């Protein structure tokens, strides 16, 4: 018989969820790459054996794998898990394009199995894709040395985070990166900034179809539960620093503005007139090249 806790997690995993668009995933990769902290790289220097086998939960189209390659974090095997088959299908094309001219190749053995190799070197790294909800990963996480979750702590339910931290074995590495901390700072302030941010943070806790997302409180939850388990907990800033100096940065800022505007537009308790006026001013600043934003993120490294 499935217990209440399991039922709640199952509800989160199996209900129709808000999927991230491929265009958004692709656009944000350069910012995640630029602003992730050095926490993972420093740990890699201390103990490379902890990176042999990696499982990446909520992998999207494989940006974390490309981050590891960029930072020269060498692994033997990586499993990428995501419930969105469209994002997983883009893995090969995006990784092939990224590796072009870097002396590496990605070999496709099947739609779910790949090998990463240095050109003219026989030895390869094994990569596997799994299209499923991440709940099922809890039964296999201890087969891996490093457990990675990127840009998703705020959309996870409290019970899932606790279950993950409870279930993991000793001597494992857990890496939560680009965790939204609830803070957004605009260089050009607006009278509704505080209100919009408050409503956005409230919405983050309820708008993921399940009603169980922990939102920006995830960082505090992960810290407190890690301390309770007596895990080694490290945290560093990984905030995005966004500007609007060129067409590329303007495009991304418009996309980011929509990640705030669209869910609040559907929200019953947000004042739509205030929201509309706020968005109009922010959009004008972006188009004029005057918009600068700091989006608060944290990286968390846990040694169990």
Share above pLDDT 70 across residues of the chain, in percent, rounded to a whole number: 91
In tens, the pLDDT along 181-194 reads 999 999 999 999 99
Which pLDDT score, from 0 to 100, does residue 192 have? 98
pLDDT confidence band for 208 (50 / 70 / 90): low
Helix axes 193-204, 247-266, angle to 10 degrees: 70
Task: Please state, in angstroms and rounded to a whole number, the distance separating the CA atoms of residues 75 and 4.
Answer: 38
- pTM score: 0.91
Name the superfamily (CATH) of residues 4-17+32-186+213-244+296-303: Vaccinia Virus protein VP39 (3.40.50.150)
| Domain boundaries of the chain, sorted by first residue | 4-17+32-186+213-244+296-303
pLDDT higher for 104 or 15? 104
Span 2-11, pLDDT tens digits: 455 454 444 4
What is the DSSP-derived secondary structure letter of residue 130?
A: E
pLDDT, residue 16, reads: 33
Answer whether residue 284 shows pLDDT above 90.
yes
Question: Where residue 120 falls among pLDDT bands split at 50, 70, 90?
Answer: confident
The DSSP symbol for 157 reads B
pLDDT band for position 18 (50/70/90)?
Answer: very low
**Model confidence at 179: pLDDT above 90:** yes
- Residue 41 pLDDT exceeds 60: yes
pLDDT at residue 20, as a whole number: 65
pLDDT of residue 21: 87
> What's the mean per-residue pLDDT of the chain?
92
Percent of all residues in the chain with a pLDDT value above 90, rounded to a whole number: 87
Distance, CA of 209 to CA of 232 (rounded, Å): 33
What pLDDT sits at residue 150?
97
Give residue 5's pLDDT. Answer: 46
Residue 28 contacts residue 249 (beta carbons within 8 Å): no
Cα–Cα nearest to 62, from 31, 90, 23, 32: 90
Contact 148, 56 (CB under 8 A): yes
Give me the pLDDT at residue 117, please.
94
Provide the token pair at 9: 């997690």
Q: How far is CA 229 from CA 130, 223, 302, in A?
A: 29, 10, 11
Over residues 139-161, the mean pLDDT reads 95
Calculate mean pLDDT across residues 242-247. Answer: 96
Half-sphere exposure of residue 137: CA atoms within 13 angstroms, side-chain side: 29
| pLDDT per position as a tens digit, 46-103 | 999 999 999 999 999 999 999 999 999 999 999 999 999 999 999 999 999 999 999 9
| Interval 254-264: pLDDT, tens | 999 999 999 99
| pLDDT tens track for 191-202 | 999 999 999 999
Confidence at residue 121, expressed as pLDDT on a 0 to 100 scale: 87
Q: 25-29, 50-54, 83-87, 205-209: lowest mean pLDDT where?
A: 205-209
């Amino acid at each position: 018989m499935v217990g209440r806790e399991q039922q709640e997690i199952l509800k989160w995993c199996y209900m129709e969820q808000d999927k991230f668009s491929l265009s958004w995933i692709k656009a944000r990769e350069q910012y995640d790459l630029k602003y992730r902290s050095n926490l993972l790289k420093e740990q890699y220097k201390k103990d490379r054996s902890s990176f042999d086998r990696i499982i990446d939960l909520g992998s999207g189209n494989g940006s974390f794998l490309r981050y590891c390659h960029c930072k020269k974090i060498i692994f033997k095997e990586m499993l990428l898990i995501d419930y969105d088959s469209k994002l997983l299908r883009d893995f090969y094309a995006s990784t092939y394009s990224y590796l072009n001219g870097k002396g590496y190749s990605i070999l496709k053995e099947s739609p779910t199995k790949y090998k990463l190799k240095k050109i003219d070197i026989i030895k390869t790294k094994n990569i596997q894709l799994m299209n499923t909800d991440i709940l099922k990963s809890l039964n296999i996480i201890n087969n891996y040395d490093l457990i990675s979750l990127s840009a998703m702590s705020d959309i996870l339910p409290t019970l899932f985070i606790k279950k993950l931290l409870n279930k993991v074995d000793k001597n494992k590495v857990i890496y939560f990166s680009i965790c939204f901390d609830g803070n957004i700072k605009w260089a050009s302030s607006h009278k509704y900034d505080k209100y919009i941010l408050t409503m956005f943070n409230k919405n983050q806790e309820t708008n993921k179809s399940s009603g169980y997302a922990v939102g920006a409180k995830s960082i505090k939850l992960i810290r407190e539960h890690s301390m309770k388990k007596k895990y080694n907990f490290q945290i560093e800033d990984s905030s995005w620093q966004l500007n609007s100096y060129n067409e590329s940065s303007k495009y991304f800022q418009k996309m980011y503005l929509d990640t705030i505007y669209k869910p609040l537009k559907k929200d019953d308790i947000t004042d739509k007139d205030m929201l509309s006026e706020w968005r109009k001013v922010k959009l004008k600043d972006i188009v004029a090249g005057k918009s600068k934003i700091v989006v608060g993120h944290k990286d968390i490294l846990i040694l169990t």
